Structure 1
Amino acid sequence: MDFDDFELLYAYTRTQAIADGVLIPIPKEDSELKIPDAISSNLYHQYIEPPKGLEGEGQSTTGRLHDTLMLFKAAASAHWDGIHVLFDVLYLMGPGRLEKIKVLAILGADDDGKPCLAICLPEDE
């Protein structure tokens, strides 16, 4: 089946996803990547934002985001297939309680067709 023969009825854009809060743009100063990137709301609120009470354990949103992006870069350099990479991240979820989760990074196009990256939980894809 050739989808070029079909009329596009609707497209959910990156701009709409950001406006709806489905994607959260990563500030350039926090990213260090050369293309615009965003993180899914689900990943952000479940894991990037540390659970309450972990401030004394050295946990911060900025630190957890930084660690996630560094692990993405390491995984991408070893396992990138040109479109996505799946990698593991350990997050401290309570005193002495680590949770290992799968994180997915997907290269796509923004609303203008320029490259951008989305980082999410696999079920958010």
Structure 2
Amino acid sequence: MRLNLFDGGVMIYAYTRAQALDDGRLIDVTDLACDAGFKVPVALTAKVWADCVVWDQAREVAPQDETGRLWDLLAMAHLAARGRPHSGRLTFSVLRIGSGRLRPSRVTLALVIGPGDRGEPVITIMQPDED
């Protein structure tokens, strides 16, 4: 007889992906991700968004924009995922220019594919220490 930890248990609280999207902990980037080749919904954590995408052109010295930065991140993520199609979690690197800088530096991110709120496949791109 197999025992299940949750047999007879009562769920106290569940924090859903939809709630994380609503409160800004996740940012939905599915539209551009589809253009980059992804077939399932994709979201970035707020930390990844702030570190790798956000760009205030009026304050920064390097000429970039958020759409281009997001495209670069998604293109590298898609390339990494294509190279390891049967992995539920992988890490990849992207070069990005940090705030106030002119030269790019490498940042490592994690791509995790797992079940969404209804069991559907979804991708979350996060910093490696966020899960």
2:87 aligned with 1:75: no
**Letter of the 2:33 counterpart:** S
TM-score by length of 1: 0.85
Identify the residue that residue 46 of structure 1 maps to in structure 2: 51
Aligned mates of 2:77, 2:106 — CA distance in 1: 14
SS of equivalent residue, structure 2 residue 129? helix
For residue 119 of structure 1, the aligned residue among 100, 103, 125 is: 125
Identify the residue that residue 16 of structure 1 maps to in structure 2: 19
Aligned mates of 1:82, 1:27 — CA distance in 2: 20
**Alignment gaps of 5+ in structure 2:** none
Aligned mates of 2:64, 2:5 — CA distance in 1: 47
Closer, same or farther in 2 for the Cα pair 1:80/1:104, shift >3 Å?
farther
Hey, which of these two has a bigger chunk of helix by percent?
Answer: 1
Stretches of 4+ moved more than 6 A in 1?
none
Identify the residue that residue 109 of structure 2 maps to in structure 1: 103
TM-score by length of 2: 0.81
Larger gyration radius, structure 1 or structure 2: 2
Whether the aligned pair in 1 keeps the contact of 2:40 and 2:122 (CA below 8 Å) is yes
The aligned length equals 122
**Alignment gaps of 5+ in structure 1:** none
**Letter of the 1:31 counterpart:** A
* Percent identity between the two aligned chains: 29
